[in-house]
A = this chain, B = another copy of it.
Amino acid sequence: SNGSTLMTQIYASMVKCKLWSTCSYAAPPEAVVTTAVTNMGHVAMPASHSLAFPDPLFVSLVFGISVALMSYCTWPLSGGHLNPAVTLSMLVAMKVRPSWALCYILAQLLGAITTSALLYGLTPEHSLGEMGINKVRVTSLQALAIEMIVSFQYILCILSTSENRRDPSKCGHLIIGLSVTLGHLIGYTGCGMNPARSLGPALITFVFTNHWVFWVGPLAGGLAAAILNEWVLFPKCSGFR
C-alpha cells in the first residue's frame, strides 16, 4: 500500500541519518546547548521587572532551569559540560581526552558568539540594554573571588554528578541546575561562571572592560574544584576514559 511505502522510505532515510549522526556524535550538542543556554539567559533578562537591576531570583531560576533541562536532554552524548571551565576541570580530572576537550571548548565559544549575534533580532529594541554583559559592580579582586567561589561550587557539583552517570535516578540534572541558580543568586558580578557566555556579548558589543575576570575566575575555581574532588576527597586511579 501507499502508506507502507512511505514508511519504508522514512525508515531508509532514518538509517542513513543514523550513520551520519553517529560520526558527529559529541560536538554538535555542545554548540546547540551552549547556544540555547546563552539565548535563554538573554531572552529572560529583559523580561524581568527592572532592566537596570534585573530581579536576581528571576534570572537565577531561568539560568538554573535551562541548564538542568539541557543537561537532561543531552545527557549520554557529551557529558553535559557546556562551559570551558567545566571542560578544563574534566580534563584535569582525567574524565575527557585533551583532543575532545579542545573540540568542546571551540564548539562552546562558537555557540556563544553566534547566539549573541542572533540576539539583536529577538530582543525588543527598548529592552536590549547593554545585552546583559557581565558588569563588575564591586572591585576587580572582589569580583574575581566571587567568580572563583561560584564556579568552584558549580564544578564541584558537576564532578560529583559525573561519578554516578549510569545511575537510574536522574537527579544529577537537578543538582546541576540548582548549582547554577545558586551561582546567579550569590553573584554580585552578573555571574559569568562561564567564559563562553561572557565572551559572546563582549565580542558583539566590543566591550572588554574587566573581561579577564570572567576567564580567570571560572577557570581557577574549576581547577580548585577538580583538585579537591579528584585528588583530596575522592582520590582514585582511573586514567582517561
Query: Which residues of A approach B to under 8 Å, CB–CB?
Result: 7, 11, 14-15, 17-18, 21-22, 28-29, 32, 36, 39-40, 43-44, 47-48, 55-58, 61-62, 65-66, 68-70, 72-74, 77, 121-122, 124, 137-138, 142, 145-146, 149, 153, 156-157, 160, 164, 167-175, 177-179, 181-182, 185-188, 228-229, 231-233, 235-237, 239
Nearest opposing residue in chain B for A149, CB measure: B39
Give the oligomeric copy count. 4
Residues of B within 8 A of A44 (CB): 185-186
Residues of B within 8 A of A236 (CB): 14, 18
In contact, B72 and A157 (Cβ under 8 angstroms):
yes
- Docked complex Cα distance between A18 and B48 (Å): 48
Residues of B within 8 A of A187 (CB): 47
In contact, A72 and B122 (Cβ under 8 angstroms):
no
Give A73 Cβ to nearest chain B Cβ, in Å: 5
Give A167 Cβ to nearest chain B Cβ, in Å: 6
Residues of B within 8 A of A174 (CB): 171, 174
